[in-house]
Structure 1
């Protein structure tokens, strides 16, 4: 009897999704001629996202703090032009400090290249360390850069997108924004915050044909990742080694594809797929297939996830026991 009820529930869910699918399946965004703004665009994932969009015919506004890096990146991107009309505009500004300044520079960008069709919030930074070892200003700085650094540019373009009844907003979170891990007590909350912002914002702007994407990249081979690795606690390093490091261009291709399609979640690799299903909760779906995968796969992946968590806890306990045996031993990240 219980099995029949469960089967009936699944069938009813499929029918419901079929009925509402026209309401949840967005029309893909055409990138040729579109104006794409990328924050944190001078290196790493941001630079690769800009290159990927430029390859597809978009006009690009790059935003970052370091003007020299921006100009160097501009030259790299321009090598991938598909027509002589494309433009790469560079703006040097800190997107996490002064909203008025961010609003002004984005207004200037829109005056030069037209309304923003897609905003990709890639600006971010990471600091690892045990909770009690981190300076209090680290928590404040990471929240400013990783969270407010996405809020400010988004706020600056959202009104125009609503007027035009079209647009894409991308928030680049992290797998550490789906799962809190040892050493990321300052970083993870800022990436979790982006998910909350994205879910609430998506509900507000969906009637205006604006779609929000949250990307959850794994460890990615970028200058920021290399810098972070220098100070990782041993536990964090050992946990990170349980999964492979992705290339920035691979991550960028997935993010751009998902943003164009209007997918709410963007994940990379098998671990990313599992985490996306496990943490789907009340997040929006953009296809019948996605909804069914979440319903069917969540229980199975929860079992697998418990094994991962057990492995991580084991790593932390072993490191703690080793330190207690050898109190003079300091953390080694080599």
Structure 2
């Protein structure tokens, strides 16, 4: 009996290992963007610019959207140098505040399609993070994140879906954050907008699947971008220490994974072991790409809940240590 139990346990572990290897390292067949129109918001820097460069290398016609014209022009030159065929491919930019007014976004994207062709792939990378405890968060900061992170993404998707549905093809990417899986000290406003993007992604994935339009939710960890450098300036100490429990990732790595996962039709796009743990643990009612992915989530979800508890205990200790240190410093003053 004990031998049978031992063999069953070994087989169970082996199955999980094989499923993990398949999930993390198997490269599925990717859709082609060659000669197709790829639009990236937040494309003048960071992850967005890296995605635009990758799309250009794969033969796509690329449009980047942001507000700063000088940054857009500089990014356009970089993307042009990356083109697979510089004589054929087109690279353009559009200066637009995507979160300000839907009618402006709709008109701008409709006009863009007239000159650059139908949008096959929309990658929403525009975003901002302003960190502070909830009592220190200003209404202006909250509104800014809602408009850029949530409304900007929502407006752009709304503006392109009808034409994508008519052509019965398309790829839509929403760049959220690992903070869409767990609330983090100092991120009350930011997490609210990123959690909202997950709800948006799950909803439109269900709406658009019958029309051969795939939806991918990118969930990058802290990434070494100009935006992250600005974000660091407003982070409370607790938030910085919690962030330091995971490594800072290069934007090229995030962009490459995002691009491949989107063209493979995956719903979640995550980075590394931490990302895998969070995506598996929090998969819930999210779409799944394959039976093997579903089985892996079902087999590991309970176990990973225990693992997550250790993370939460670690974060609580960090917060309590910061409070204790501040109290001691106040008494000594």
Could you state the TM-score of these two structures normalised by the residue count of structure 1?
0.89
User: Which of 129, 140, 164 is 1:161 aligned to?
Assistant: 164
Q: Distance in 2 between the 1:242 and 1:204 partners?
A: 37
The 3-state SS of whatever aligns with 1:169 is strand
The 3-state SS of whatever aligns with 1:123 is coil
User: Which of 48, 56, 61 is 2:50 aligned to?
Assistant: 48
Quick one: structure 1 residues 198 and 267, their matched pair in 2 at CA, closer, same or farther if it must change by over 3 Å? same
The 3-state SS of whatever aligns with 1:221 is coil
Q: Is the 8 A contact 2:30 2:260 kept in 1?
A: no
Which residue of structure 1 aligns with residue 152 of structure 2? 149
Which residue of structure 2 aligns with residue 311 of structure 1? 314
Which residue of structure 1 aligns with residue 180 of structure 2? 177
User: Which of 217, 225, 230 is 1:227 aligned to?
Assistant: 230
Q: Distance in 1 between the 2:35 and 2:106 partners?
A: 23
The 3-state SS of whatever aligns with 2:302 is helix
Q: Distance in 2 between the 1:328 and 1:79 partners?
A: 59
Q: Structure 2: where are the runs of 5+ without partners?
A: 13-27
Q: CA deviation at 1:306?
A: 0.7
Q: Distance in 1 between the 2:259 and 2:296 partners?
A: 22
Which residue of structure 2 aligns with residue 70 of structure 1? 72
Question: What number of residue pairs does the alignment pair up?
Answer: 308
Could you state the TM-score of these two structures normalised by the residue count of structure 2?
0.90
User: Which of 79, 82, 86 is 1:80 aligned to?
Assistant: 82
1:121-270 mapped onto 2 (5 Å cutoff) = 121-270=124-273
Q: Distance in 2 between the 1:37 and 1:205 partners?
A: 18
The 3-state SS of whatever aligns with 1:326 is helix
Q: CA deviation at 1:329?
A: 9.1
Quick one: structure 1 residues 235 and 81, their matched pair in 2 at CA, closer, same or farther if it must change by over 3 Å? same
Q: Is the 8 A contact 1:146 1:190 kept in 2?
A: yes
Q: Is the 8 A contact 2:98 2:152 kept in 1?
A: yes
After superposition, the CA RMSD in angstroms is 1.8
